[in-house]
């Protein structure tokens, strides 16, 4: 005997707040439903033309990681910084530059950048880019605070 209960009315989707399964809907223009744009950092020094969206890990989830989307406008850049925690960046939109240690890579859609602990790093969108450079950043939920990195001298450009 089939004991499945079927309803003609679907329940509403769960809210994006809370520690339960959910889908955060992608919208046009590289945004997500009910996810606000946030400032990149609280201070205003060392970066230009960058914003972020917290996708997972900030709304009550119990993850050991956070997933964030950053978008850098043409001519913009993140801070040149270093910290003990590692993170992974996945390019989703446009083209950019990823600097880690003394290497600079040109990156685009689907490229994955691993930043190791203590490596000075920065992400940039070229001045003449046709669109922003957007990427997912996956980072530990518990992490140390970044510190500004000094100039790195001569870097090697990798294609």
> One of 102, 137, 155, 158 is an active-site residue; which one?
137
Q: Dump pLDDT digits (tens) for 55-101.
A: 999 999 999 999 999 999 999 999 999 999 999 999 999 999 999 98
- CATH number of the domain at 102, please: 2.60.120.10
Any domain includes 39 = no
Any domain includes 14 = no
Q: Tell me: pLDDT of 4 over 90.
A: no
Any domain includes 54 = yes
137 is catalytic: yes
Over residues 39-45, the mean pLDDT reads: 79
Q: Tell me: pLDDT of 102 over 90.
A: no
Please give the span between the terminal C-alpha atoms of the chain, in angstroms, as a whole number: 63
The reported pLDDT for the residue numbered 54 is 96
Any domain includes 37 = no
Write down the pTM of the prediction.
0.87
Task: For the chain, give the mean pLDDT.
Answer: 90
Domain that holds residue 67: 47-143+153-158
Q: Dump pLDDT digits (tens) for 123-136.
A: 999 999 999 999 99
Any domain includes 80 = yes
Count of domains forming the chain: 1
């Amino acid at each position: 005997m089939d004991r499945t209960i079927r309803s003609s009315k679907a329940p509403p989707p769960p809210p994006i707040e809370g520690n339960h399964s959910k889908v955060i809907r992608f919208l046009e223009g590289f945004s997500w439903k009910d996810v606000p744009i946030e400032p990149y950092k609280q201070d205003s020094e060392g970066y230009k033309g960058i914003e972020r969206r917290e996708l997972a890990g900030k709304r009550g989830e119990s993850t050991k990681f956070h997933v964030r989307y950053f978008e850098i406008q043409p001519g913009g850049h993140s801070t040149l910084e270093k910290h003990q925690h590692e993170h992974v960046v996945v390019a989703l939109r446009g083209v950019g530059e990823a600097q880690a240690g003394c290497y600079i890579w040109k990156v685009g859609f689907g490229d994955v950048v691993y930043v190791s602990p203590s490596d000075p790093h920065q992400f940039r969108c070229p001045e003449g880019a046709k669109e922003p450079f957007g990427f997912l950043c996956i980072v530990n939920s518990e992490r140390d605070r970044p510190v500004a990195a000094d100039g790195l001298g001569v870097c090697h450009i990798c294609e």
